[in-house]
Chains A and B, each alone.
Chain A
C-alpha cells in the first residue's frame, strides 16, 4: 500500500493540480457569468430578466456530463460539417479538452452562481439603494459602489461551496481524456490492477483538497466579519 502511494503520489499530485487549475478557471467564468445573469434578473428590463431565468432553468437542468459531451464532441463536429470557415475557426478551441471542460463546467456552474449572487443582492436592504439614489447615484453606479460590494460578502461562503462542487465535478473531465486526478487514477488502476488502492487514493486526494479549501473559505469569511466590527 505504501509502495503504491509512494510510486503514484507525484502523478496524483500533478492530476490534483490540473484539477485545481481547471476549477479556478471554471469559477472565474462561473462568477462572471453569474454576475451578469443575476444583474439581468434583478434589472427592470423584461428581456434581460427572461434571458436570465431561461439560462438558469436550462443549465441547472442539464447534467454536466451531458453538457461536456455536447460541447466537446457535438459542437466542433457540427461546426466543421457546417462548412462555414469563420464559425469553424471560432469554435476550434473546443477541440482542446481542457478548454472544453472549463467552458462546459463554467456554463453549468454559472447557473448556480446566478442564484447565489441574485440571493445575495436580494439580501441587501432596499434602504441601501434608496440612500445611494438620494445622493444622485444612477442605479448602475449604486449597484457597483454600494450593493455589489455588500452582497459580495454575503455570496462568498456559498460561492466557496460552489467552488468545492466544481472541484469534484472536474473528475468528469476524465471521460474526455483530461489527465486530471480521476484520469490518473484510472491509468494507475489499469497498469497495476490495484483498483481499490488506485481509486481510494484519488478519493483521499479529493477529501484533502476539499478540507484545505474549506479551511481557507472560513478563514477569509471570518476576516470579512471582523473588518466591519
Chain B
C-alpha cells in the first residue's frame, strides 16, 4: 500500500514508547503496586466433556506485574489464558478485568451470558499474542498494526500511525513496515504480533507460549522485547517454558498441574525453594535439557 510512517515528534534515536505507555504504568512498575488488581480470577473452572481443564483457579495480578505461568503440557495453562479474554468460555467462577466481569453478567447470584458487544469492549483492553503469531497474511505489517486501532478503537489515522511507529520502534522492525507477514522470519512475525497487540494500548497482555514455535536462535529477540515491556510497566501474563525468562523477568511464578494452580510465589523464591517435590522434579527435568 506504499504508506510511509512520517517522522514523529521524537528526534532520531529517541524513544516514542510514551505513545504506547502512560507515565502511570512506569510509576506503578517501579512501585510494584499494591492497588486493585488489573486481573482477578476467582475459582475459575472449565471442563471439556469429562476432562477438567481448570479446577478452581484463583489468581490476582496487579498493575505492572509480570506473572509467568509454567507447568507440564496439558496442565491448563493455555486454557487459562484463553478464558481470560473469553476465547474459551469458562464454566464457573469469575474473571474480572479491571474490575469488570468478562463473559457473563451476574443476576441474583447466577451467571448469564453477556452480550457479545460487552465482551468485545473488555477484549479491546486485553492484548493477546499467540504461539503461531496469527498475523493477517493479506495485510502488510503496517496494515496489521492499524487494523485494531482504526476499525475497533476507531481512533484518527494520524494517531494510529503514531502508535504503529512507536510499536515498531519498540520491537525493532521499523524497516519492515511495508513487508507482508510471510516475508518475515518467525521471530520477526512474533515481534509484529506483539506490536499489533501494543497498538491497542492494552491494560494487560497475555502471551501464549510465544517462543515455542520459533527456531532456537530467534527466541532471544522475542524475549528481549518482552523484557522491555515488563520494564515499561506492562501487566503481563506469560505462559512459557523459558525458565530463564521466568526467573529474571517475572515478578511471580504460578505453577499449574492438572488444571490447578499448585504454587504461586515470587519468582526468586519459586526457583530457589521449590514448594513441592513435583515442582522440583519438573524444574530439574527442564534444566537437564
Known: A141-B151, A228-B180. A130 touches B134 (CB 8 A): yes
**CB contact under 8 A between A136 and B134, given known A141-B152, A228-B180, A229-B182:** no
Q: Assuming the A-B contacts A131-B134, A146-B136, are A136 and B128 also in contact, with contact meaning beta carbons closer than 8 angstroms in the complex?
A: no
> When the two chains form their complex, are residues B152 and A136 in contact, meaning their CB atoms are under 8 A apart?
yes
- B 50-92 contacts with A by CB, 8 A: 85, 87
Report chain A residues within 8 Å CB of B136.
128, 131-132, 146, 150
Is there contact, CB below 8 Å, between A135 and B132? Answer: no
Query: B20 to nearest A CB, angstroms?
Result: 15
Residue A137, interface by CB 8 Å: yes
Q: Is B183 engaged at the interface, CB distance under 8 Å to the other chain? A: yes
Q: Which residues of B contact A77 (CB under 8 A)?
A: none
Q: Please, which residues of chain B bring their CB within 8 A of the CB of A139?
A: 116
**B126 near A145 (CB under 8 angstroms)?**
no
Residues in A with CB closer than 8 Å to B148 are 135-137
Check B152 against A128 for contact (C-beta < 8 Å): no
Q: B251 an interface residue at 8 Å Cβ cutoff? A: no
| Cα distance A13–B153 in the bound complex, in angstroms | 53
Q: From known contacts A128-B136, A229-B182, infer whether A135 and B87 are also in contact, taking CB-CB under 8 Å.
A: no
In the assembled complex, the CB of A202 is this many whole angstroms from the nearest CB of chain B, namely 41
Q: Which one of A131, A132, A139, A153 has the greatest number of beta carbons of chain B within 10 Å?
A: A131
B105 in contact (CB, < 8 A): no
Closest B residue to A228 by beta carbon equals B180
Interface string of A117-134 (1 = CB under 8 A from B): 000000000011011111
In chain B between 102 and 126, which residues have their CB closer than 8 angstroms to a CB of chain A? 116-117, 120-121, 123-124, 126
Minimum CB–CB distance from A219 to chain B (whole Å) comes to: 20
Pick from A128, A138, A229: contact of B116, CB under 8 Å: A138
Interface size of A in residues (CB-CB distance below 8 Å): 21
Bound Cα distance from A99 to B270, whole angstroms: 76
Which chain B positions have C-beta within 8 A of A229?
180, 182-183
**Which residues on A sit within 8 Å (CB–CB) of B200?**
135-136
Contact partner of B137 (CB less than 8 A), chosen from A132, A145, A150, is A150
Interface residues of B in 168-223 (CB under 8 A from A): 180, 182-183, 196-197, 200
Contact A135-B137, Cβ < 8 Å, known A127-B132, A130-B130, A229-B180 = no
Instruction: For the complex formed, measure the closest distance between the CB of B88 and the CB atoms of chain A, giving whole angstroms.
Output: 10
**Residue in A closest to B152 when the chains form the complex, CB atoms:** A136
- Report which of B87, B147, B182 forms a contact with A130, defined as CB distance below 8 A: B87
Judge whether B152 and A135 touch: CB under 8 Å.
yes
Decide: A127 near B134, CB < 8 A? Known: A135-B148, A137-B152, A138-B120. Answer: yes
A134–B180 CB distance below 8 A: no
**Which listed residue (B120, B135, B183, B196) contacts A136, Cβ 8 A?**
B120
CA distance A127 to B87 in the complex (A): 11
Which chain A residue has the least Cβ–Cβ distance from B134? A131
B138 within 8 A of A: yes
> Are A228 and B116 in contact, with the CB atoms below 8 A?
no
Q: Give complex CA distance A153, B136 in Å.
A: 14
Report if A149 contacts B (CB, 8 A).
yes
Q: How far is the CB of A173 from chain B (nearest CB, A)?
A: 38
**Contact present for A134 and B123 (CB under 8 Å):** yes
Chain B, Cβ-Cβ closest to A140: B116
Q: B: which residues have CB within 8 A of A?
A: 85, 87, 116-117, 120-121, 123-124, 126-128, 130, 132, 134-138, 147-148, 151-153, 180, 182-183, 196-197, 200
25 contacts between A and B (CB under 8 A): A127-B134, A128-B134, A132-B136, A133-B120, A134-B85, A134-B126, A134-B128, A134-B130, A134-B197, A135-B123, A135-B148, A135-B196, A136-B124, A136-B152, A138-B116, A139-B116, A141-B152, A145-B151, A146-B136, A146-B147, A149-B138, A228-B137, A228-B182, A229-B182, A229-B183
